[in-house]
Amino acid sequence: MILFSAICALLLPTSLKAEKELPFPQVEGWELKVYEEFYTSENLWHRINGAADAFLKYDFKDLHLADYTKGNEIITVYLYRHSSLPNTFGIYTQERYPDYDFLEIGGQGYQSSGILNFFKGNYYIKLSSSIYGDESAPGLQALAAEIAAEIETENVLPPELNLFPQENRVEYSDMYISENFMGYGFLAEAFTIDYLLAEKKCKAFIIHQQDAAKIESMLQSYLKIAKKDDWNDDMDFNTIHDPFNGTIYLSRKGNYLLGLANGTEEQAKEIILQIKQSL
């Protein structure tokens, strides 16, 4: 019995450990209450219902909550922890819209009508004020800054985004798709950015795997769907007639698949070649 805890640790399935030190700082002027209940992948639905599905795709680990109260204002902080920076960036971009009022906080953040969302390291943090409208902005920004300071990682975006050309990017269009890219279960872990060239938008994407065999498998699966049997690695790019997603320009370099969707051959020539040069 005395060794109960040790026996548990030895015999039970490995599971994630509870976060001991949560980045909920004491902030002058605000009363802090950390919620006792927390949520994992098995009960996140209970808290955020169907919205949970999106989080689970990004290797969600746990959600802790806290209320900060000052006078009549209550700001609830939702602290979502994921397994990696790309995953927090990914879920953050799923919920981001280009029209928001963007802030330099953490890796990136924005505010709108009583909410402020940002990500930093493995955390995606959402703050929601009981006050709607612009009056909530000072409180939200102050708390967000304090919380960001508690998270001891750099204020960075995933470095993979640096592989894309900087020019002609559509601002705030960068995304990370962890699963089911373009609607295919075999395509995963894709970074994407939109570009505006000659007044036409297109979408560039990069998929990288440590294991070249995985890239080969992804490519072969895609070529079978597209019924393409003349793939040529030596070409600048190959043209794929995707039955569901239209014309895709695709290339491979080492452990990378790079492509362009919704675009023209001219756009593909410009963007895919630039990406290849950066690899």
| Binds other proteins by CB under 8 A, chosen from 145, 165, 186, 255 | 186
Residue linked to tokens 């190959």: 238
Q: Is 274 in the site for other proteins (CB under 8 A)?
A: no
Contact 129, 75 (CB under 8 A): yes
Q: Which one of 217, 239, 277, 278 is in contact with other proteins (CB under 8 A)?
A: 217
Nearer to other proteins, 167 or 241 (CB): 241
The whole-angstrom separation of Cα 256 and Cα 234 is 14
Cα–Cα distance between 221 and 245 in angstroms, integer? 15
Does 159 contact other proteins by CB under 8 A?
A: no
* # residues near other proteins by CB under 8 A: 68
- Binding mask 16-55 vs other proteins (x if CB under 8 A, - otherwise)? xxx----------------xxx--xxxx-xxxxxxx-xx-
Q: What sign results for the dihedral spanned by CA atoms 100, 104, 105, 108?
A: positive
Please write down the HEC assignment for all residues of 144-161: HHHHHHHCCCCCCCCHHH
Phi and psi at 202, nearest 5°, equal -145, 170
Please select the residue that binds other proteins; options are 64, 82, 96, 252, rule is CB under 8 A: 96
Q: Are 207 and 161 in contact (CB under 8 A)?
A: no
Stretch that binds other proteins, among 21-29, 158-166, 170-178, 266-274 (CB under 8 A): 170-178
Report if residue 221 touches other proteins, rule: CB under 8 A.
Answer: yes
Question: How many Å apart are CA 236 and CA 251, to the nearest integer?
Answer: 7
CB of 93 to other proteins, least distance (A): 7
Output phi, psi for 86, to 5 deg. Answer: -55, -40
Applying CB under 8 A, the residues found at the interface with other proteins are: 1-2, 4-5, 8-9, 12-13, 15-18, 35-37, 40-43, 45-51, 53-54, 56-57, 93-98, 117, 130, 172-173, 175, 177, 179-180, 182-186, 188, 192, 194, 203, 214, 217, 221, 224-225, 227, 241-247, 261-262
